Structure 1
C-alpha cells in the first residue's frame, strides 16, 4: 500500500481537493493494472462527508483486491455532496411543488375526521330530540282535537274559561309544530354538512395516496443526499438530530405506555386476591366473636364443652392458612407490578399470626385466645389499609395513563413539525448550493481572465486563498458542537431522549447518572 500521493499531481487537482484525488490509488497496490482497464474518475470537489464516504468505499474495495476492477460493484469514491445536489435538484423541486399544491393532507384528513365525529354526535342527538318533539307535538294536537271532538264540546268551547283553554291549546300545538319544523330544518342542515364532510374525507383519502408517494420519494432523495453527518452543512445536522431525538422519545413513550398498562392490569389482578384475604380474616374474627372470645365470655357460657381452646383453633386455623396462602399470591402480583412500573409505591405492612403460635401450641411464644383475637383484628386493619392502597395506586395509574395519552398526541404534532423543519432546512441548502453553482458559472469567465494576474502577484504566506479554502472545508472531528459527529452518538441520543421524556411525563429517577438502571425498552 502506498503511503503518500504520487509525485506528479493530476491535471484536475485544485486547491480544494488536491489531497483527495484518486483515493483508490492511495489505498490499493493494484492501481497500475486497474488504471489501464478503467478510466480515471472525473474531477470532483470533496467537501464535508464525501471524504469519509470515499475512504469507506475504498477500504471495502481493498478487502476485495483479488477481484478484477471491472467486476467490483462498489465504486472507489462517491460524488461529493454538492455535485449530487445538482443532480437531484430538478426532481427535488418538482416533488416540493407537488406536495405544496396538495397541502398538509394528513393534518387535513385528521381534522376532517374530528369534524365527522362532532357532526355525527350532533346528528344523533338531534334525531333523539326530534322524536321527543314529535311525541310532544302529537300530544298537544290530540288534546286540542279532543276538546272539540263532539257537537256538545264545540258549543261549550264558545263560552267562558273553556274558550280560553281551547285557544291556549291551539296556540301550544302551533308553537310545538313550529319548533318541530325548525328542528327538522336544523337536522337536515346537519345531515347535509355530514355528507359534505364524508365527501371531503374521500377526496383527502385519495389525495393521501399521492401525498404519501411524493413524500416517500422526497424522503428517499433527502436521505440519499443528507443522511448521517454532513459537517459542511451543520444546520442539517442539528435538524436531523432533533428528528432522531424525538423519534427516540416516541419509542420510549410507547414503551412507557405499555409498561403502565401492564402494571395497572397486575394491580387489578391483585384486587380479587385481597378481597378473599379480607373475607377470610373477617370470618375468623366473626368466629372468635361468636365463641365469646372477644367479650371474654367463652368459658362462662358453657362450662362443659368450652374448657379448651381447641374449638377456637379448629374454626380459625384453616381460615388463617388460606389467608396466608392468598397473601403470598397477592404480594407476588404486587412485586410484578412494581417491577414493571417503579412508580408504584411500596405496599404497607401486612402480617398474619404464624400457625405454630396458635393457642394450644407447645411453643413457649404461643398466644392465648385473646391474643389470637387481637392478632386477627390487627391483620384485618392492615388488610383494609392494603385495600385503600390498591385503589389509590390504580387511580394513580389511570392518571398517569391519561397524561401519557395526552403527551403522545402532542408528541405526534411535535414530530411532524420537526420533520417539516428538517425538510425545509434541506430544501434551503439545496437552493443555496444550486444558486452558488449558478453564480460560479456566471463568474467563471471573469475568473479565467484574471487568473494569470493573480498568479503573478506574490503573497507573504505563499497561497492564502488556497489555505482559506482548505480551512473552510476542513472536517470537524471533535465531538462538539455537532451532535451528529460523536464517538458516543447512540449513548448521547438515548440520554437526550430520556431527559426530554422526563420533562413530559413522570419517570422514576435513577439512583445514579447511569440511565441503564431504568429499563426503558419494554
Structure 2
C-alpha cells in the first residue's frame, strides 16, 4: 500500500483523532496554570491561618479588657463620686469599640479564608477534570503519532515538503500553547472580577439597608433599629472585604487589573448607642453612612468598569 492509499484508508480514524486533539488542545496549559493557582491558594491559606491566630489573640485580649472595665462596679462608682463619670464613659466606649473592631477584623479574616478555601476546593475539582482530559489528549496524540509514523516514516516521494510542514506545525503548536495559556488566565481573571462585582452589589445593598434603619432610628426607632443598622453595616464591610479579595485574586492572573482600593464603611458603637443615643448622634451617624454609601457607589463603579473593560480589551 503506497502513501496515498494509506492516507485514504485511515482518513476516518485520522479525522477522529484530530477532532479529539483539537477539542482538548487547551488542556495542558490549563492544567499547568491550575496547578500553580492551587499552590498559590494553599500558600495564602497557610499565611491566613497565622493571621487568624494572631487576630484571635488580639480579640481575646480586647474582650478581657472590655469586660474587666464593664464589670468593674467599684471603679465605676469611684469615677462617679469623683466627678469623672464622663471620662469613665468615654474610656468604656473606647474599650468596647476596640473590642468590636478586633472581633470584626477576625471575622473578616475568617470569611476571607473561607472564600479562599472554597476557591481551592473548586480548583481541585477543575484539576481532576483537567487531569482526566489530559490523559485522553495525550493518548490521542500518541495514537496520531503512531499513525503518522506508520504512514510517513521513510521516504515519501509523493510529499516532498513533509519535513518543512512538520517544522511549521511545531512552531504553530508552540504559539498556540502560549496563546491558550494567556486565554486561560484571562478567563479566570474575568470570572473572579465577576464575583467581585457581585460582592460589591451586595455591599451596596447592605449600606442602603443601613441607611433605611438609620432613618428609622432618627425618628425614634429605638435599640432594635440600632442593632439592625449595625448588622447591615457589618455585612457591608464583609462584602467589601470579599470584593477586595476577589480583585486581588484576579490580579494574580492578570496584573493589568487595578486594585479597587479599600472601601471604608461607617462604624459605630453599640455602647455609645445606649449611653449617648439622641437625635443629634443619630443624625451624625446617618451622615457617616451616607458618606459610606457614596464611597461604595464609587468602588462599585470601579469594579464594574474594570470587568467591562477587561471583557472588551483586545486579546
Q: What is the TM-score with the length of structure 1 in the denominator?
A: 0.31
Greater radius of gyration (CA): 1
Give the structure with the larger helix fraction: 2
Answer 1 or 2: higher relative contact order, Cα 8 Å, separation at least 6: 2
Q: What is the TM-score with the length of structure 2 in the denominator?
A: 0.50
